[in-house]
Amino acid sequence: MTMALFDACLALCLPLLAWMVLRTESLSQAVVLFVALGLLAALGWARLDAPDISLVEAAVGTGLTGALLMHTLSWTDERPPDIVARARRRPGSLLALAALTGVLGWAVLALPPDDPGLTREVDARLARSGVEHPVTAVLLNFRGYDTLLEIAVLLVAALGARAVNPRTERPSPEPARDPLTGELFRMMVPALLLVAGYLVWVGEHGPGGAFQAGAILAGGGVVALLTLQMGAPRLSSWRVRVVLLTGPLLFIAVAVAPLFSGRDLLEYRRDLAGTLIFVVELALTATIALVLLMFFPGVRPARVSGGKAP
């Protein structure tokens, strides 16, 4: 009964918050509301028994994205956008939105009820995967190919982010304004490292893994960028390149190795599978953390006025 009430509250609050994010007058309010929406969405995933998705939503979708939005906000002039102009009835977009909602609703309703999907197949072969958590087994063993390609996509995304962000390694010479943030960072570093390491380790038999751990490390990196006057990672430095390539190259090596002994791609030996997956996850954690950190520009770009750089 209590849980039903809680779920009803969540189901009511999520669309309400989404609507408020779109309709607020001020940008900073919209960002704060967006973060609140992300936290509620994470709660919703947790209630739907999807702890992995919930963790990613909280770490990436809310934490890092919220920090990025806040950072962007500090560069923009807080001029309230013209809500009235935005809210003008646009029949085309309304129609498209209604059509999309209809299609999504139809797709959800067309699903067979209580369909276990591939859960049974995964559970039946879980013992052969080398790990005890079905999500990790699917991500790094049964469908390891997808994860491998995802990492490649992440690398491309990092390249794109670097192309857009200003290229500076040296931080701005202005002294750190607040001793407080540096102090907070120093207190939080051990906890951050501990939590990230724990998440990688626990991925073997519970919700967790490289993506969540990488996101937490990247969050720590963002705080470091903002407080310790650390320069943003640059693609031209060989250290950054090594870390960026460690995960993908190790993963590719582990994936290709079985080919030499006459097995298929990514077909690990059963007695080594657990160890291999753990090593790959550790390397991927470092790569993912750095990729996510590279989205975060270290300095303010020069203000562009009237379309021309000053």
Partner 1 sequence: MSALLDGVCAALMLAGAFFTLAGTVGVLRFPDVYCRLHALTKVDNLGLGLVVLGLALQSGSWATALELLLVWFFVLISSAFTCQLVARAALRRGAAPWTGRRPP
Q: Identify which range of 13-21, 82-90, 179-187, 196-204 contacts partner 1 by CB under 8 A.
A: 179-187
| Chosen residue from 121, 123, 169, 178 binding partner 1 by CB under 8 A | 178
Q: Which is nearer to partner 1, 50 or 188 (CB)?
A: 188
Binding to partner 1, residues 16-55 (CB under 8 A): none
Least distance between partner 1 and beta carbon 70 (Å): 11
Least distance between partner 1 and beta carbon 184 (Å): 4
Confirm or reject binding of residue 3 to partner 1 (CB under 8 A).
no
State which H helix or E strand residue 248 sits in: helix 238-260
CA distance 93 to 22: 14
State which H helix or E strand residue 273 sits in: helix 273-294
CA distance 152 to 158: 10
Least distance between partner 1 and beta carbon 77 (Å): 14
Q: Which is nearer to partner 1, 157 or 228 (CB)?
A: 228
- Beta-bridge mates of residue 305: 308
| Chosen residue from 149, 159, 191, 265 binding partner 1 by CB under 8 A | 191
Q: How far, in whole angstroms, is CA 168 from its chain's centroid?
A: 24
User: How many Cα atoms occupy the beta-carbon half-sphere of 195 within 13 Å?
Assistant: 17
Least distance between partner 1 and beta carbon 55 (Å): 16
Tokens in use for 189? 């570093």
Tokens in use for 78? 């807080």
Please, what is the end-to-end C-alpha distance for the chain in angstroms?
62
Rg from Cα positions in the chain = 22
Do 215 and 287 form a contact (C-beta atoms < 8 A)?
A: no
| Chosen residue from 26, 165, 181, 229 binding partner 1 by CB under 8 A | 181
Q: Which is nearer to partner 1, 121 or 183 (CB)?
A: 183
| Chosen residue from 118, 127, 152, 180 binding partner 1 by CB under 8 A | 180
Residues at the site binding partner 1, with contacts judged by CB under 8 A: 178, 180-181, 183-184, 187-188, 191
